[in-house]
């Protein structure tokens, strides 16, 4: 039985297998273009790969073309390169992004594409503290704990914190507060020390906490 395909982000820890399953379950008159870069194989999704995807999208076609882009994570630069084509895809083109973590998807992409989580190992959604109890001591303790954490770990931790703060009545936040995360993501991508970025976001969240 074929599966109806639509533009979306799929969070999966098996990028290549998911891409193959999408193609296997699609209608016969659907053509697939796959650009997959998995870091476990020493590959990164580059701006050149995004440019190739855009080029493929603008090729005229009477059949439906599904452009599957897969990467352990997509950089801010790559996502911004893809944003316009995702906003206004040419006729008969479907974009599907496969990635290992929803934490890496920018709010601008999230607002345009639905996100489906297919991870077999569900991401740990817990925080090491209750967001309502955030204070300067907890900021200090968490920064010390993550002094040697990598950027990917900090990205997931920050997304959980910002999401919980948005949901909590103890914080004076709105959807614009998601820029806290996108700015932090950009800083981490540009090489800023992860612990420094973590402390900056936590202090900004603390400033939004109602007294």
What values do phi and psi take at 104, rounded to 5? -85, -5
Q: Quick one: pLDDT at residue 2?
A: 55
The secondary structure element, H or E, covering residue 145 is: helix 136-145
The pTM (predicted TM-score) of the whole model is 0.62
pLDDT digits (tens, 9 = 90+) for 44-65: 899 999 999 999 999 988 899 9
Could you tell me the two tokens for 66? Answer: 């599904």
What's the rounded Cα separation, in Å, for the pair 79 and 99? 12
The residue extents of the domains of the chain are: 8-117, 131-207
Give 91-156 as a DSSP string: TTEEEEEEES-GGGS-HHHHTTS-EEE--SS------SS-GGG--HHHHHHHHHHTTT--HHHHHH
The secondary structure element, H or E, covering residue 115 is: strand 115-117
Q: Quick one: pLDDT at residue 123?
A: 46
| CATH code 3.40.50.300 for 8-117 | yes
What's the rounded Cα separation, in Å, for the pair 75 and 106? 9
pLDDT digits (tens, 9 = 90+) for 95-135: 999 998 777 788 888 888 888 887 654 444 567 778 888 99
């Amino acid at each position: 039985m074929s599966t109806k395909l639509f533009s979306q982000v799929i969070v999966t820890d098996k990028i290549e297998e998911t891409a193959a399953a999408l193609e296997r379950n699609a209608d016969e008159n659907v053509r697939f273009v796959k650009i997959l870069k998995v870091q476990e194989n020493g590959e990164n999704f580059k701006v050149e790969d995004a440019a190739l995807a855009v080029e493929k999208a603008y090729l005229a076609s009477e059949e439906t073309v599904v452009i599957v882009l897969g990467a352990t994570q997509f950089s801010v630069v790559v996502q911004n390169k893809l944003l316009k084509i995702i906003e206004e895809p040419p006729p008969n083109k479907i974009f599907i992004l496969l990635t290992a973590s929803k934490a890496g998807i920018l709010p601008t992409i999230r607002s345009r594409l639905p996100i489906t989580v297919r991870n077999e190992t569900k991401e740990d959604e817990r925080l090491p503290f209750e967001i309502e109890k955030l204070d300067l001591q907890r900021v200090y303790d968490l920064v010390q704990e993550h002094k040697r954490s990598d950027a990917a770990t900090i990205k997931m931790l920050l997304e959980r914190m910002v999401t919980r703060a948005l949901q909590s009545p103890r914080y004076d936040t709105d959807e614009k507060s998601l820029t806290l995360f996108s700015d932090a993501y950009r800083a981490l991508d540009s090489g800023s020390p992860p612990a420094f970025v973590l402390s900056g976001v936590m202090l900004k969240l603390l400033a939004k906490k109602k007294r």
